[in-house]
Chains A and B, each alone.
Chain A
Amino acid sequence: MPNVEPLSEDQIDQKGFTKLLRRSREIQAPDELFVRIMAHAPGYAKSLHDAMYMSHVEGNVDHKLKEIIRVQLSRKAEDTYFANLRSEKAKGDGLTEERIEAGCGDFENDSQFTEAEKWALRYAWLMYREPGKLNAEFYDEGKRHYSEAQIMELGGFVALHYGMQVFMRTLGAFPMHDSEGNEVSQAQSEKIYGASVNG
């Protein structure tokens, strides 16, 4: 069981959480577990989930690219929960597990990624490993591929999701469903996904 127990559906004020639960069931990254844990602090749950959803699913940077970045970050954070979730929207839009692995691996030398995508993946890769390299020159290169609005969208997305992954890591949680969509207990989920966050 996670280090902060999720509230049951009965314990959550359904009226206040209908939208969050619907979104989490639709996208599955995060899934309902995150909502039920965060529901201990309802104000935080709503504002953070709104921000996470907006930054991940909406905006002007491709959601599939952001999904690869989200998984990449979660592995850096060593968070067993977010690392094992996959956006149903991204999957529906054609994102494959192989492409996610490629984006989390040697993307610099992988011809399937455009220069713009490589810059975005590099941005996320370096942010919490070598932030000193994200200097004016780095941002200038980014501006050849993205508008400043897109760069702020990407940077804000990276920051918010990584921060939440760092927190979730400490809770020791796992996804609520197996890869086929069946609901499983936390113990079963841990057995399925394992303690490692890598693919």
Chain B
Amino acid sequence: MIDEGIENYRKSDKFSEAEKLALEYSELMQFEPEKIDKAFYAKLREHYSDEEIVELGSFIGFNVGYHTFFRTLDFYPMFSPDGRLVDQEESRRIYGAKPTSHLRGPMARATGTENE
């Protein structure tokens, strides 16, 4: 569902219209903020209260800011996707140099099943 929400939410039947709009809000804030205008906020208000919009908007902004910073620190999760404590070198090997779906590599590398 995470992968669906990142790659295919617009066409997916797994998300409600409200959820799709929130995902679009996030995507646009990162890549095309100029498209988040009065009309967009009016659409958001069809599904969310102002409190929820402020929560979502500031949450997204916070993450936009922080993920770029963290990228520059070049560190990896302490745990593998299957829950084991791993060192940074192992974590880098499992998760890879670029963020990707856990279903396309990291889980297999974590469990040693990448060649199956």
The reply to whether B54 and A41 contact each other, CB–CB distance below 8 Å, is yes
A170 CA / B40 CA spacing, docked (Å): 10
A121 contacts partner chain B, Cβ-Cβ < 8 Å? no
A135 CA / B71 CA spacing, docked (Å): 10
Contacts of B40 in A (CB 8 A): 170
Chain B contributes a number of interface residues (CB within 8 A of A) equal to 32
Contacts of B51 in A (CB 8 A): 40-41
Q: Provided the pairs A40-B51, A44-B55 are in contact, do residues A162 and B65 lie with their beta carbons within 8 angstroms?
A: yes
**How many inter-chain residue pairs (CB < 8 Å) link A and B?**
97
Q: Provided the pairs A38-B58, A40-B54, A172-B38 are in contact, do residues A131 and B71 lie with their beta carbons within 8 angstroms?
A: yes
Q: Provided the pairs A127-B69, A160-B65 are in contact, do residues A4 and B60 lie with their beta carbons within 8 angstroms?
A: no
The reply to whether A3 and B41 contact each other, CB–CB distance below 8 Å, is yes
The reply to whether A163 and B54 contact each other, CB–CB distance below 8 Å, is no
Q: Provided the pairs A4-B50, A38-B54, A136-B74 are in contact, do residues A127 and B60 lie with their beta carbons within 8 angstroms?
A: no
Residues of chain B in range 13-64 having any CB-CB distance to chain A below 8 Å: 29, 33-34, 36-38, 40-41, 49-55, 57-64
B72 contacts partner chain A, Cβ-Cβ < 8 Å? yes
**Which A residues lie at the B interface, using CB under 8 A?**
3-5, 37-38, 40-41, 44-45, 48, 77-78, 127-128, 131, 134-136, 138-139, 155-156, 158-172
